[in-house]
Structure 1
Amino acid sequence: MAAEHDEVPLNAIRAFVTIAREGSVTRAATALGTTQSSVSRYLAVLQDYFGMDLVERRGRRSELTQFGRLFVNTVAEPLDTVCFTAKRMRRRTQPGANRIVVRTSLSTFAYSFLIPNLQAFSAETGGVIVDVISSLSPPTSSDNFDILITRDLSVIEPADDWEIYNEALVCVGSPNHVTGKTLSIVRSMPILNITSRPDILPTWLRAMNLSAKDVKSGARYDHNYLALPAVITGHCLLVAPEIIVSDLVRAGALHVIPGSRASSGMQYRAYAVDRSDNPEIARAFCRWVARLCKKAAIPEAT
């Protein structure tokens, strides 16, 4: 039976739009940060208001009814506009908000290059706090972040984006073992394997006109940041993105083998999402990262 009062249940509409987007009550509850039973009650309230079903069961699956699809297609965009406008207006009343969240799928890039330089950005911007989180999962519009830095993911929501780095690969080793050596050293010293980036070594070998048979396979590590201490202290080599070893090379902890630089064809990008609570700071951060990456190139070894 339809509700007897005419007050529009706005919270129930928001819950239903989230159900439609997420594909289930359970995922909608997660996106809204509430319980499944609460979302189910909101759905019941809205169906009672209309006097019609918005969702129907199809075996084990739930699907929108024709009326439900018509309604969500009509109200979803205006609801997004209301929420976005409210957030922007809220920022005007909270000028002290001075914090951004950077999400990245590039854990070694964050560990070895981004995070060590964050204090410089904070100093430039009057003490902005930068939280960094790492995830390999595709981001959704309900995830809490202001900026995405990635090589292989993208955002599916309005965002400004920057090309921050065209990935170059270099072969590095401990100065004690490789200083003064030529590229031929790769035939005698083992090269470490990185399981999270199986593309790197084959790509580099092709660029050097080498094959897997021409080099010695070394120990295996899940990520480059785990392999860095091994190559710094051990009798082995590592083929890695230049940007993640640049500071170690400048500090003298690693040495680049002359003639080993090659392009991987991969591109790092930074996205500042429109829904950020601090869009101006987020965009400033992306511009800063782009400038920082341009300065990271190591002078060609001779």
Structure 2
Amino acid sequence: MGMVLPPLSALRAFVAVARLGSIVAASEELHVTHGAVSHQLRSLEEYLGVSLVNRKGRRVSLTEEGRIYAYQIRQALDNVSSVSERLRRRGRAQLLRVSVLPSFATHWLTPRLGDWMRHHPDLSLGLDASMAFVDFDVDGPDCAIRFGHGEWPGLHSQRLMGDSLLLVAAPRLFPDGTPSLERALSAAALQASESWETWLSGMTGELPPLRQPALEFTDSTPMLEAARQGLGVALTRRSIADQWLRAGELVLASEREVAHTSSYFLVWPHRSHGSPRLASFQAWLRRQAEAFERALSARPDPPYSA
């Protein structure tokens, strides 16, 4: 026996009226006229042979049958929507959505994406650059690159690499080309999320008093731009500043570089576990991270633990 179903448009109109309690509100949500919604309600009632709503002028309320039916239909439509979304994602199987901090995406990940594209021409990345702490169930990315200690309950994670803290500034702040701790600490302080106390920890001898940050930022990218313009010295991570240091846009304001207490991790929910797309990105990302760490440790003055 074939499946007999009422028109989907009539069900959508009914569920919208039941949820919003108003034909006017339902018509605005569905982008149709009030008359079209009323017609859909009547056609559904005629199809079922049951009154679903009580009408009093422009006001409507659900009958007892309508209330039960609305609950059941809403559940059914939610199931259809969920199944369809899963299938739609499977149809876009060549896209891997990655959540990442804007500063890390701009200064570390993006400069390396040319290599990714050369080796994985058939696999696209969707980068969600945001300061927000991603909720995998709500926001829907396949994985995220996070900076922390590796403790995220309910998620899989793999350590990628460590990092270090350092001070950077515009070259014109040190015209002789020699970093100076005294000069660095006397300049205007630029700060995003890093701790000056961590960078200073373990130092001996008398130091100039630590100045309050002259400028504070929520992300490292505008902070580094402020440093590049000569507004002060910026406390940042090697991974974020490395490109500008290599290009000569910034210079070390002090020779002191301290190993960071946090590391970068690739994090993913259980639904992504075993995904071939994720496995390809994970392997590539790990190779890039290992190369970065090797370059960091091969320097003549590698950072040391605070």
Q: TM-score range by the shorter chain?
A: 0.5 to 0.7
Q: Which residue of 2 aligns with 1:18?
A: none
Given that 2:184 and 2:254 are in contact with CA atoms closer than 8 Å, whether structure 1 keeps it comes out as no
Letter in 2 for 1:289: L
The yes-or-no answer on 1:115 pairing with 2:79 is no
2:184 to 186, 194, 203: 186
The verdict on how the C-alpha distance between 1:252 and 1:301 changes in structure 2, with shifts beyond 3 A counting, is farther
Letter in 1 for 2:266: A
Identity %: 18
Q: Which residue of 1 aligns with 2:126?
A: 131
Q: Which residue of 2 aligns with 1:72?
A: none
Structure exhibiting the larger radius of gyration computed from Cα positions: 2
**TM-score (norm. length: structure 1):** 0.61
Q: Which residue of 2 aligns with 1:213?
A: 209
Q: Which residue of 1 aligns with 2:72?
A: 45
State the distance in 1 between where 2:96 and 2:251 align: 35
Shift of 1:137: 2.9
The verdict on how the C-alpha distance between 1:232 and 1:281 changes in structure 2, with shifts beyond 3 A counting, is same
Given that 1:258 and 1:301 are in contact with CA atoms closer than 8 Å, whether structure 2 keeps it comes out as no
Given that 1:169 and 1:239 are in contact with CA atoms closer than 8 Å, whether structure 2 keeps it comes out as yes
State the distance in 2 between where 1:251 and 1:137 align: 31
The yes-or-no answer on 1:147 pairing with 2:143 is yes
Given that 1:208 and 1:260 are in contact with CA atoms closer than 8 Å, whether structure 2 keeps it comes out as no
The yes-or-no answer on 1:226 pairing with 2:197 is no
The verdict on how the C-alpha distance between 1:300 and 1:243 changes in structure 2, with shifts beyond 3 A counting, is farther
2:285 to 273, 280, 289: 289
The yes-or-no answer on 1:204 pairing with 2:202 is no
Q: Which runs of 5+ in 1 are unaligned?
A: 1-24, 26-34, 49-78
Given that 1:177 and 1:235 are in contact with CA atoms closer than 8 Å, whether structure 2 keeps it comes out as no
Q: Which residue of 2 aligns with 1:239?
A: 235
Cα deviation 1:234-293 (Å, max 9, x = unaligned): 152111011011111111111124532102311221024342399212122123223223
Q: Across the two proteins, how many residue pairs are aligned to each other?
A: 227
1:253 aligned counterpart, secondary structure: coil
Given that 1:256 and 1:301 are in contact with CA atoms closer than 8 Å, whether structure 2 keeps it comes out as no
1:123 aligned counterpart, secondary structure: helix
Q: Which residue of 2 aligns with 1:276?
A: 272
Instruction: Map 1:229-268 to 2 at 5 A.
Output: 229-268=225-264
